Chain A
Amino acid sequence: MRPFTYERAASAAAAVEAAQAPGARFIAGGTNLLDLMKLDIEAPAHLIDVGRLPMAGIEATDEGGLRIGAMATNTAVASDPLVRARFPMLSEAIVAGGSPQLRNKARVGGNLLQRTRCAYFYDPTKPCNKRQPGSGCGALEGLNRNAAIFGASPSCVATHPSDMAVALTALDARVETLTAGGGARSIPVADLHRAPGDTPHLETALDDGELITAVVVPPAPTGGQAYRKVRDRASYAGGLASVAVAGGRLALGMVALKPWRATAAEAALVDGADPAEAIGRELAGASPLGRNDFKVPLVARLAVATMAEARAAANGGGQG
């Protein structure tokens, strides 16, 4: 790790002010940032610890949704009775990610901002435009089995690894932020991550020093919810693909550099298509690279199964 200075923020306002310092980064759980600092992929000059800020509450909103503080741990969100009752799919997506030890440390805000697990991003002996802009993409012609099939560019074919973000995208959640100037913004989770384009090192819609303070989930849509993830081992492994269903809304995970809202499939469902037809409409726009061709039929089957599970949950009563 490169040398850095460290401070514990006294308030969110103090944190965004301190974040104006060159090379400053927020840290909360630190499970992703510290991993990358040990590999010299991240080298902040100053760390602002926001993990103890009183922004970890989970509250019902007047509309029937939830407001989840950005410093809530993954474990706290997944275990919360209101989350489990209203948004069971969100709880199930969270426990599908990482290990219990990691989920005990990881926070909601940081989970959304975690960086790709693309092997070329982690390997400093290979090119990566995300790690070193202009160096090229090692995955494009390399071992790209877990690369994106949607929204990629010649500069970057990485995927976003979060399970939680996929569920939040299907749930139409928004993030609330505090900007460097002290203002507040509200951004749909679906718009939080940028398409890679030719600047894959620029990852989110957040400005420098902008802090996520909460995630707001609107009331659950009618119809059931379900989340399914496929990976190489049964537990504690990154995903190859995942599907989140909330009523008529679908989001796909680990297939793009952002949680992929399957808008073509949703439109097809509205037009009366059956689930297989609907996901087929979405996958018609997929651009696999060879070694990840399997993701197309995998997502097709996974989406049909997840939609069936959501439908069964809706018919089974309760809010499932």
Chain B
Amino acid sequence: MRINITANGEARSLDLDPRTTLLDALREHLKLTGSKKGCDHGQCGACTVLANGTRINACLSLAVMHDGDEVTTIEGLGSPETLHPMQQAFLTHDAFQCGYCTPGQICSAVAMLAEFEAGAPSPETPRGAAPTLSDAEIRERMSGNICRCSAYPQIVAAIRDAAEGRA
């Protein structure tokens, strides 16, 4: 099937087996290998990308379901010369060890802050109130991204810095 997607601002046309996941389309067909395949079942978050601005697990979506969508991967957030503030914050705080989960963590964190700004509640949000960006809120809202190296304290610190404009 032929699909058209905008990947990191660039219009791309692909002829795909309908079984191709969005993650495989990005990695194997568009050679955007920043997004990682961890569990391939939506349990680890390493494949997190933004589809029309919303964070999703690219492994649990078919590419054909995204015909016409705008997809942003880690490659579209920043470049080695011009890092996204969230990327800089992860570097500053040493918020990774092996780095495998990091592209998903950073994409997830960028979208998480947008969700937070929009007032989306989490289990940490008091009833009827707007959320405040406590460490508990950051941890809860990032629970879909697993880090086997357990860099969680540094990840929370990096996200807080980026959120508060210090990165």
By a beta-carbon cutoff of 8 Å, the part of chain A in contact with chain B is 1, 3-6, 8, 27, 30-31, 34-35, 38, 47, 49, 51, 75, 78-79, 84-85, 88, 91-92, 95-96, 98-102, 104-105, 234-236, 313, 318, 320
Contacts of A5 in B (CB 8 A): 18
Task: A105 to B19: give the CA distance in the assembly, Å.
Answer: 18
* A-contact 0/1 string along B20-54, CB 8 Å cutoff: 01000000000000000000111001001000001
Q: Which residue of B lies closest to A2 (CB)?
A: B19
Given contacts A35-B60, A236-B144, contact A101 B45 (CB under 8 A): yes
Given contacts A3-B19, A4-B18, contact A101 B1 (CB under 8 A): no
Number of interface residues of B (CB under 8 A): 36
Q: Which residues of B, 53-82, contact A by the 8 Å Cβ criterion?
A: 54-57, 60-62, 64-65, 67
Given contacts A88-B128, A236-B144, A320-B128, contact A101 B42 (CB under 8 A): yes
Contacts of A27 in B (CB 8 A): 62, 65
Task: A173 to B140: give the CA distance in the assembly, Å.
Answer: 29
Task: A239 to B142: give the CA distance in the assembly, Å.
Answer: 19
Say whether A100 contacts B127, CB under 8 Å.
Answer: no
Contacts of A92 in B (CB 8 A): 121, 123, 127
By a beta-carbon cutoff of 8 Å, the part of chain B in contact with chain A is 1, 18-19, 21, 40-42, 45, 48, 54-57, 60-62, 64-65, 67, 108, 112, 115, 118-123, 125, 127-128, 139-141, 143-144
Please classify the interface of chain B as helix (H, G, I), strand (E, B), loop, or mixed, using the class held by over half of its residues: loop
Given contacts A31-B60, A91-B121, A320-B128, contact A102 B144 (CB under 8 A): yes
Say whether B143 contacts A6, CB under 8 Å.
Answer: no
Give the shortest distance, in Å, between B147 (CB) and chain A (any CB).
Answer: 13
Say whether B56 contacts A105, CB under 8 Å.
Answer: yes
User: Mind listing 24 A-B residue pairs with CB under 8 Å?
Assistant: A6-B18, A6-B64, A27-B65, A30-B60, A30-B62, A34-B60, A34-B61, A34-B62, A35-B60, A38-B40, A47-B18, A47-B62, A51-B65, A75-B120, A78-B121, A79-B120, A91-B121, A95-B121, A95-B122, A100-B115, A100-B122, A101-B144, A234-B143, A236-B144
Q: Indicate the member of B65, B112, B115, B143 with the most A CB atoms within 10 Å.
A: B65
Task: A49 to B63: give the CA distance in the assembly, Å.
Answer: 12
Say whether A99 contacts B144, CB under 8 Å.
Answer: yes
Give the shortest distance, in Å, between A98 (CB) and chain B (any CB).
Answer: 8
Contacts of A79 in B (CB 8 A): 118-121
The 9 closest A-B pairs by CB, nearest first: A99-B144, A235-B143, A236-B143, A6-B18, A79-B120, A1-B19, A101-B144, A101-B57, A104-B54
Contacts of B123 in A (CB 8 A): 92, 95-96, 235
Say whether B48 contacts A101, CB under 8 Å.
Answer: yes
Task: A31 to B67: give the CA distance in the assembly, Å.
Answer: 18
Q: Indicate the member of B1, B21, B118, B127 with the most A CB atoms within 10 Å.
A: B127
Q: Indicate the member of A79, A99, A234, A313 with the most B CB atoms within 10 Å.
A: A99
Say whether B55 contacts A104, CB under 8 Å.
Answer: yes
Give the shortest distance, in Å, between B142 (CB) and chain A (any CB).
Answer: 8
Task: A30 to B56: give the CA distance in the assembly, Å.
Answer: 11
Contacts of A100 in B (CB 8 A): 55, 108, 112, 115, 122, 141, 143-144
Task: A31 to B19: give the CA distance in the assembly, Å.
Answer: 14
